[in-house]
Structure 1
Amino acid sequence: MLEYFKKRKYKKQEILQQVKEDKVKQKEKKQEIKALPKEERKEAISSNKLLRKKEKKQRKEEIKSLSRKESKAAKKEAKVYKKLKNRPRRFTGWAVFAALLLFIGVTVGPTVTTIVENMSGKHITIDTTSAEAVQAREAADIVSEKIANEGLVLLKNENNSLPLEDKKLNVFGSTAFTFKYGGGGSGASDLTRAVSLFEALTNAGIEYNKELYDYYVKLPEIKETTGNSDTGIVQVVKGFLSNDEEAGEPDLPDTTIAQAKEYSENAMIIVQSDAVEASDVNENQLKLSDEMHNLVEKVAGNFSNVTIVVNAGNTLELGFVEEYPSIQSVIWVGTPGPFGTNSLAKVLSGEINPSGRITDTYAYDVESSPASENFGDYQYENLDKAYLNYEEGIYIGYRFYETFYQGNEDGYNEIVQFPFGSGLSYTTFDWNIVNQELNSDSIELQVEVTNTGEVAGKDVVQVYYSAPYTPGGIEKSAINLVTFEKTKSLEPGESEVLTIQYDTRDMASYDMENENYILENGTYEIKLGKNVHEIDSTVNYELAEDILYQTDAVTRTEYQNRFTESENELTVLSRNDWQGTYPSDQDDSKIATDKVIERVQGHEYNNDVQMPTTGADNGLKLEDLKGLDYDDPLWSDFLDQLTVDQMISFVSEGAYHTKEIDELGVPNTVLMDGPAGFSFFGFKQFAAGAYPTEIVVASTWNKDLAYEMGEMIGQEAQAYGIGGWYAPALNIHRSPKGGRNFEYMSEDPVLNGMIGAGMSKGASDQGVIVFMKHFIMNEQETNARSGMLVWSNEQAMREIHLRPFEITVKEAGVNGAMSSFSFIDGKWANPALLNGMLRDEWGFEGVVSSDAVFGFMKAPQAITSGNDLMLDIMTVPNQIQLLEEAYEEHPEAITVGLRNSMHNSLYATLQTYLFN
């Protein structure tokens, strides 16, 4: 074994040397191309791309000709090469922030005091100790555990091995003492009330092997983490300081195994991964370490009934469970909040019948999806910016696997282990469509669900559609989730009729060429699925003629392509030519075009506007506008009263609060993180309701429960004095390696949107500003905080990345949003996104806050592009100065921008419970 690792290390060094040499050659080649005249340069870039594609194809053919063993080794080396070539830089973003604090402290002195005060949360005044607050927190805890109960997913249960017949259990592995209740960063929550795994087992009437427990707790490397909860910033710094070395796993003496075997044939092992905001994970962190694999092998070889518990917010490789027949069951718990251990224990005992469904495709190889080809650290050579190409287009997650392997069941089964939407129950259900109404306006099905088993349980009816596809035409996935419903708890023999309805236009595709949505004529297969791959029944809807949708259904705004200014050339994946269009980072020129450079660096001010009135005395207070429409004329009279200085101060100091303006009746408001319960990203800690992370909320597939969580968040906000909630997070799981996947919901935009809309409406109905985030395309942490340029095409943006936000705006009526760090179509705070799409096309009325401010995020560009508040902790004086300088040069444009931002912010504030 030692020789093997020596050889592996040597091979890795060999490959690393090759990477270095190839990078030097690549740089030399690019410098040669850069020196050519413009026309020759374009031709050279195109020829270079074709050459690399040819070389890649040739390498694939060479690998095919090798023996199976040689082929496997060659593929592994190719993966190592790619990993080393695009290895993310660990110390970016928040690590730079930590270094910046030190630099400021040494060089500036007093300025650091302001930053430290902001990070301390001194300006945040909330009361979490009142009787009302305690009551709200207790109610939140109840909902938290309900979500954990329904979010848990049973993925495998051979021979009905669960629930446990013998309520005695051996718990193996150090991971039992480091149970992961949540993630790190702004998505963290208060875990002071967390229930340890062993306490939960006892609560559920399951006896655990105390001798085995004692063996572990006496080991010096074992340290139980139950209830330990660092602040967001501390978690992030820890994430940066951690390395990628495999975590140690204590060896098990034969005597310990023998004692455990005598105790019970039941064994459980928890597998985990680490993820934290500001740092992505690599593929090795999504696989079993060698030491953990040894533990699984030893336990599986000695016990007849082994349960694997997946305690991770990222999709892990679980192929190992099929290596050992004794692994009878697999339970996914995700990162289930402080009471998730109770849920797990009750599922083991049978007190709870699992009803969750996974929200991602579990593939045997986490790098088998096309999005993984463009995930990592990519830098322009002629522009001080990172970039990311979304060349997979619409084919993210199951949309790729189900389309690429359509008609190839053997190939599919070799790649996909657990399809999107999978989940088992301790009972069985039958479905029967009792009524259907299908027309050009809406699709409605009434589905009778009957519990045909022996225990009570809930079921999820997932509704998908397959649209007619013309080769070479508009890209369409072979299958798409369109809606879903969950039953109540049904007793054995009991039935419930679910009414499932959605707008027919929800099956339309975006046509980039004609700038509209279209339902092309043909057969639309409407499918009721147990998961995306296991279809129970199909209803056909025949459409004789195309239906064009040229305007938004709500606002009647005419559709148009809004993200085509960059002229960035992408080869976007097409099902019409998988091989010719499959993504490859080898095709990247890494040379930003002149148009891209101009777009990134330039900002136009609209000086052709009339200077508004400022500082007027109209005798109006903010409360005088309560109940008025956003565009009521009285708003103009109120806004005329604001001075330029007041507005500059207000929009610049928008981190976790907004400033009061006493003379106009504008109150101070507190705005707080986070998606798993209220928290502050700085050093301030306080008691608050704590929930499972959003991936677990989504795995309930329960829209009503999502609403209930939002409702509890809103009631807690009222009790504490919080006016705004930085949540929910609606971004897509583009790759299993995303550092914030625990904080996001799924790989599917409709599931994200419907669960997100439920959470948002629940909180909004309680008078809280909901800041849906991160708008948009914030699916990678590497380079995010340096201002990364994200490139995609309009169809993928509309159908995948914008869709969850659109659903949330239209179904929940939110009046808050948080923009992302990303440069969309070459612009941070892109007006086509924040005004054109969000406000004009969707009809959003409210405030847009930035995410935490870094150097590339500037207030003058923000307030003249639709971003109203700067979530700035470190550089408020600088933002104020930038606005003052911009005002001197462009007084009309800046004043109008400030006025619009104040209008948006104050309109949102006026909708809160503060004015009830």
Structure 2
Amino acid sequence: MFEYFKNRKSKKHEIMQRVKEDKAKRKERKQEIAALPESERKAEIKNDKLLRKEQKQQRKKELKSLSRKERKVAKKEAKIYKKLKNRPRRFTGWSIVAILLLTIGVTVGPTVLSLVENITGKHIAIDTTSDEAAEARDAADIVSEEIANEGLVLLKNENNALPLTDKKINVFGSTAFNFKYGGGGSGASDQTRAVNLFDALTNAGIEYNQELYDYYVGLPELEATTGNSSTGVVQVIKGMLSGDEAAGEPDVTDAALTQAKEYSENAMIIIQSDAVEASDVSKDQLKLSEEMHHLVEEVAENFSNVTIIVNAGNTLELGFVEEFPSIQSVLWIGTPGPFGTNSLAKALSGELNPSGRITDTYVYDIESSPASENFGDYQYENLDKAYLNYEEGIYVGYRFYETFYQGNEEGYNQAVQFPFGSGLSYTTFDWNVVNQELNSDSIELQVEVTNTGDVAGKDVVQVYYSAPYTPGGIEKSAINLATFEKTKSLEPGEYDVVTIQYDTRDMASYDMTNENYILENGTYEIKLGKNVHEIDSTLNFELAEDIVYQTDGDTGTTYKNRFTQSENEMTVLSRNDWEGTYPSDQDDTKVATDKVIERVQGHAYNDDVEMPATGADNGLNLEDLKGLDYDDPMWDDFLDQLTVDQMIDYVSEGAYHTKAIDEIGIPNTVLMDGPAGFSFFFKQFEAGAYPTEIVMASTWNKDLAYEMGEVIGQEAKAYGIHGWYAPALNIHRTPQGGRNFEYMSEDPVLNGMIGAGMSKGATDQGITVFIKHFAMNEQETNARSGILVWSNEQAMREIHLRPFEMTVKEADVTGAMSSFSYIDGKWANPELLNGMLRDEWGFEGVVSSDAVFGFMEAPQAVTSGNDLMLDIFSVPSNKNKLEAAYEQHPEAITVGLRNSMHNALYATLKTHIFNK
């Protein structure tokens, strides 16, 4: 074995020397060409290109003439050569600034000075060094591991292969040395305290094959990729520049396999996906590469007990696990934070009993969902904008598969591998409905859950409903998640009675024709399920007459269709005609109508408003308004004191902080990313780190979600942070979304319940929670150029806006972050931000933009309900635009600025900043 490592290192050194020599030759040749007269230079460049082409063809011929074994070695050496030659340089300092400037087109000048100040965080003051801060991080670590423990999902466990009887295991694959603890971009978190996988195995009493470990450590391919980490901004840049080529996987020698077989019959392989903010993933990236499949095949053919670990924030194709009988178990761990390896190791040893449930439908072909038909890069031919048609309507995720295959179990089983909500345990549970009250106001059940197995564990009671459907009528999924509850840990023989309750109104559908919600008469089936497809018991609720809801139940605002102005023509999927309405991007005209162009490019200023007072001397400080209602008359007296210049400065510089206005007691506030623990996009600092949101959601534990938010809030107070850019409530529209790790689920109700718990926990600690990205920000492709997203009102309300509505109403949040998307043809759509969010749902607080790009302009924002510009790059530009707009529309701009200040300062007063 030692001789093998020695030879590998020698080969790597040899290839490295060749790389250096070739680079030197290329440099020398460039210098030779540069010295030639221009007339000769072009001819030489052309000759060099032809020579390289001939050499490439010659190499191909030589490769074909080799034996299979020799060809394999040659290909491997070529791959190592390519990796070493193209090894990326680390982005640092000004190189980051330069790339960002190029990316968004910022001009050099005063803007650069502002940009540098923003990137360095000079204006942001937080203290992570105090004893209180250290205690907060300790508490965060505890909750982080609890989430990883409960978020782990056991998907397959044939013959009770887990927990391991023989506590010895062979860990195959380079992925074990590049464990994914979290995601990339603004959703990244501090992983400096992350536990190495092999240390975690040792801590759990599991012995791993040291010789196999040493074999992998010695591979040059591994050495070239291990241990690299980046800040959020660099991860995003890499995502924007990356291609879809899957990472290779080194072969395992026969000698290494033989030694491993002698060590143990247990083998483990970790499979992963690469997704990051600013970059979606392809179908090929969500299934095994040819090399990884070869590794799985080799291991499965040589070991009797193989465990597959799914270490990915995106839904992967797992059909391969059924190809090999020796793959006895599958554990999904997602991207589980710094202590997720501990959870994994404890699950393998049996110290931890898995209790998580998956938050997406796992299918054999990820492109079999209708949403996948309209995902990717679509550009108008006559408008400098990208667009995206949500032609799937309400049929996202399980809503499609359960409805399309209703009554066709064979077809369903050929399409779906693991239904939404799936998850196994090392024990068994029995359910018994001991009480039920079903009426037109509420659905309430009491379910006795008994542990009928041999070890302690937790169970999840999932409650679904099926509403009566009339063909050709309002679209309805065959089944919908209503709510869920998780039990406490139950010892063998112990039981727990869980109470399930939700409003009957929650089962209503939106009627676009009559602009209201309706519960149509008929039989509503209330279903208790182990997952969406495995139903334990069904209760029937009969509704004799329709119940129509004309107004919002909390605010009394009359419902109306708010997103039909664009008249964008598209066919929306209907269960009444699957074949005739199934989405296809081939039907797109790619030509924007005149009305769409006018709507996108135009902006209406309301000049028919009274000019408010500015610059008054009323002797009020912001603290004087603490505890007052949003519409208290004293707000007018306070806001009258602000000047137009002060307001312009305040709303324009809203990235990661807000500015102090000392004269009237307005303090500086600090606002921070991110959903998996505090982070600053441009530099790292020590902070609590959590599993990504998909893992939090996979716990199906609302109390734990609240606890996470609460501990984050306590940490914020210890650091001097006042606002949290989280949680992210967008859905997994398709498996390919680059930020799926940062989002929770394909289901809006699960998103809303977990999101509300997280938000409530932080809000109760005096933190402004910015729920994001409001709304329909479900792909990264073209997002930062302002993508036009088209849908219909029913799908928007029932699927994409539902998690935000639930969180606003249940957590009383005072912050939101608008998305990059043009909703119904408008960025910062006033019907969305004022009509829906504020008027219909009753939101009181501040709306920040997402990171500002060229199409996001402050005048449109402040007159549409978007209050702060999360602006790193173009602060002077947006100030100039506001000043110019003020000259043209003084009343509209002043009122817009004043409303933005009111919203932002009301939220500030709700934070811990003025607590005595």
TM-score by length of 2: 0.89
Aligned to 1:656: 656
Q: Could you tell me whether the CA contact under 8 Å between 2:106 and 2:874 is conserved in 1?
A: no
Q: Give me the whole-angstrom Cα distance separating, in 1, the residues matched to 2:813 and 2:226.
A: 36
Correspondence 1:863-874 to 2 at 5 A:
863-874=862-873
Q: Could you tell me whether the CA contact under 8 Å between 1:190 and 1:690 is conserved in 2?
A: yes
Q: Give me the whole-angstrom Cα distance separating, in 1, the residues matched to 2:361 and 2:639.
A: 50
Correspondence 1:349-748 to 2 at 5 A:
349-682=349-682, 684-748=683-747
Deviations 1:864-916 (A, max 9, x none): 00000000001000100000001011000000000000000000000000111
Secondary structure at 1:871 match in 2: coil
Verify: 1:108 aligned to 2:111, yes or no: no
Is 223-232 or 261-270 further displaced after alignment? 223-232
What is the CA RMSD across the aligned residues, in angstroms? 1.3
Secondary structure at 1:492 match in 2: coil
* Structure 1 pair 420–106 and aligned structure 2 pair: CA distance change class (3 A): closer
Is 740-749 or 216-225 further displaced after alignment? 216-225
Secondary structure at 1:851 match in 2: coil
Deviations 1:512-563 (A, max 9, x none): 0000000000000000000000000000000000000000000000000000
* Structure 1 pair 368–102 and aligned structure 2 pair: CA distance change class (3 A): closer
* Structure 1 pair 721–229 and aligned structure 2 pair: CA distance change class (3 A): farther
Structure 1 residue 157 displacement after superposition: 0.1
Q: Give me the whole-angstrom Cα distance separating, in 1, the residues matched to 2:595 and 2:871.
A: 30
Where structure 1 has 5 or more consecutive residues not aligned to the other structure, the ranges are 1-94
Secondary structure at 1:155 match in 2: strand
Structure 1 residue 105 displacement after superposition: 11
Verify: 1:266 aligned to 2:266, yes or no: yes
Correspondence 1:180-195 to 2 at 5 A:
180-195=180-195
Where structure 2 has 5 or more consecutive residues not aligned to the other structure, the ranges are 1-94
Structure 1 residue 233 displacement after superposition: 0.4
Deviations 1:221-258 (A, max 9, x none): 11498875421001112223333223121111111101
Q: Could you tell me whether the CA contact under 8 Å between 1:515 and 1:561 is conserved in 2?
A: yes
Q: Could you tell me whether the CA contact under 8 Å between 1:651 and 1:868 is conserved in 2?
A: yes
Verify: 1:755 aligned to 2:749, yes or no: no
Q: Could you tell me whether the CA contact under 8 Å between 1:464 and 1:481 is conserved in 2?
A: yes
Q: Give me the whole-angstrom Cα distance separating, in 2, the residues matched to 1:116 and 1:198.
A: 41
Q: Give me the whole-angstrom Cα distance separating, in 2, the residues matched to 1:195 and 1:444.
A: 43
Letter matched to residue 191 of structure 1? Q
**Greater radius of gyration (CA):** 2
* Structure 1 pair 483–734 and aligned structure 2 pair: CA distance change class (3 A): same
Q: Give me the whole-angstrom Cα distance separating, in 1, the residues matched to 2:102 and 2:510.
A: 49
Q: Could you tell me whether the CA contact under 8 Å between 2:101 and 2:107 is conserved in 1?
A: no
Deviations 1:132-187 (A, max 9, x none): 00010010010000000000000000000000000000000000000000010000
Letter matched to residue 901 of structure 1? S
* Structure 1 pair 477–103 and aligned structure 2 pair: CA distance change class (3 A): closer
* Structure 1 pair 534–106 and aligned structure 2 pair: CA distance change class (3 A): closer
Q: Could you tell me whether the CA contact under 8 Å between 1:650 and 1:658 is conserved in 2?
A: yes
Aligned to 1:26: none
Q: Give me the whole-angstrom Cα distance separating, in 2, the residues matched to 1:636 and 1:157.
A: 64
Q: Give me the whole-angstrom Cα distance separating, in 1, the residues matched to 2:764 and 2:268.
A: 43
Deviations 1:583-616 (A, max 9, x none): 0001101010111000001000101100000000
Aligned to 2:203: 203
Letter matched to residue 633 of structure 1? P
* Structure 1 pair 398–105 and aligned structure 2 pair: CA distance change class (3 A): closer
Aligned to 1:142: 142
Aligned to 1:217: 217
Deviations 1:637-662 (A, max 9, x none): 00000000000000000000000011
Structure 1 residue 121 displacement after superposition: 1.4
Is 569-578 or 225-234 further displaced after alignment? 225-234
Letter matched to residue 393 of structure 1? G
Deviations 1:664-712 (A, max 9, x none): 1110000000000000111x21100000000000000000000000000
Verify: 1:915 aligned to 2:890, yes or no: no
Letter matched to residue 698 of structure 1? A
Q: Give me the whole-angstrom Cα distance separating, in 1, the residues matched to 2:287 and 2:433.
A: 42
Structure 1 residue 99 displacement after superposition: 4.1
Q: Could you tell me whether the CA contact under 8 Å between 1:178 and 1:224 is conserved in 2?
A: no
Secondary structure at 1:860 match in 2: helix
Letter matched to residue 542 of structure 2? E
Aligned to 2:821: 822
Secondary structure at 1:359 match in 2: coil
Aligned to 1:876: 875
Verify: 1:177 aligned to 2:177, yes or no: yes
Q: Give me the whole-angstrom Cα distance separating, in 2, the residues matched to 1:169 and 1:242.
A: 35
Q: Give me the whole-angstrom Cα distance separating, in 1, the residues matched to 2:103 and 2:417.
A: 49
Is 153-162 or 245-254 further displaced after alignment? 245-254
Aligned to 1:800: 799
Letter matched to residue 529 of structure 1? G
Structure 1 residue 106 displacement after superposition: 10
Q: Give me the whole-angstrom Cα distance separating, in 1, the residues matched to 2:448 and 2:155.
A: 25
Deviations 1:422-477 (A, max 9, x none): 00000000000000001100000000000000000000000000000000000000
Aligned to 2:892: 893
Structure 1 residue 96 displacement after superposition: 12
Q: Give me the whole-angstrom Cα distance separating, in 2, the residues matched to 1:688 and 1:184.
A: 16
Letter matched to residue 472 of structure 2? G
Q: Give me the whole-angstrom Cα distance separating, in 1, the residues matched to 2:219 and 2:568.
A: 56
Identity %: 85
* Structure 1 pair 106–432 and aligned structure 2 pair: CA distance change class (3 A): closer
Aligned to 2:843: 844
Q: Give me the whole-angstrom Cα distance separating, in 2, the residues matched to 1:402 and 1:158.
A: 26
Secondary structure at 2:297 match in 1: helix
Letter matched to residue 578 of structure 1? W
Q: Give me the whole-angstrom Cα distance separating, in 2, the residues matched to 1:227 and 1:661.
A: 44
Q: Give me the whole-angstrom Cα distance separating, in 2, the residues matched to 1:726 and 1:115.
A: 20
Q: Give me the whole-angstrom Cα distance separating, in 2, the residues matched to 1:285 and 1:207.
A: 32
Secondary structure at 1:808 match in 2: helix
Aligned to 1:324: 324
Q: Give me the whole-angstrom Cα distance separating, in 2, the residues matched to 1:427 and 1:149.
A: 16
Aligned residues: 821
Q: Give me the whole-angstrom Cα distance separating, in 2, the residues matched to 1:900 and 1:110.
A: 29
Q: Give me the whole-angstrom Cα distance separating, in 1, the residues matched to 2:251 and 2:769.
A: 48
Correspondence 1:235-250 to 2 at 5 A:
235-250=235-250
Q: Could you tell me whether the CA contact under 8 Å between 1:450 and 1:493 is conserved in 2?
A: yes
Q: Give me the whole-angstrom Cα distance separating, in 1, the residues matched to 2:788 and 2:702.
A: 34
Secondary structure at 2:881 match in 1: helix
Is 214-223 or 152-161 further displaced after alignment? 214-223
Letter matched to residue 724 of structure 1? G
Q: Give me the whole-angstrom Cα distance separating, in 2, the residues matched to 1:879 and 1:711.
A: 36
Secondary structure at 1:222 match in 2: helix
Q: Give me the whole-angstrom Cα distance separating, in 2, the residues matched to 1:228 and 1:245.
A: 18
Q: Could you tell me whether the CA contact under 8 Å between 1:177 and 1:224 is conserved in 2?
A: no
Secondary structure at 2:368 match in 1: coil
Q: Could you tell me whether the CA contact under 8 Å between 1:196 and 1:226 is conserved in 2?
A: no
Q: Give me the whole-angstrom Cα distance separating, in 2, the residues matched to 1:227 and 1:669.
A: 35
Q: Give me the whole-angstrom Cα distance separating, in 2, the residues matched to 1:310 and 1:258.
A: 26
Q: Give me the whole-angstrom Cα distance separating, in 2, the residues matched to 1:422 and 1:350.
A: 20
Is 860-869 or 236-245 further displaced after alignment? 236-245
Aligned to 2:27: none
* Structure 1 pair 225–447 and aligned structure 2 pair: CA distance change class (3 A): farther
Secondary structure at 1:301 match in 2: helix
Structure 1 residue 116 displacement after superposition: 2.1
TM-score by length of 1: 0.89
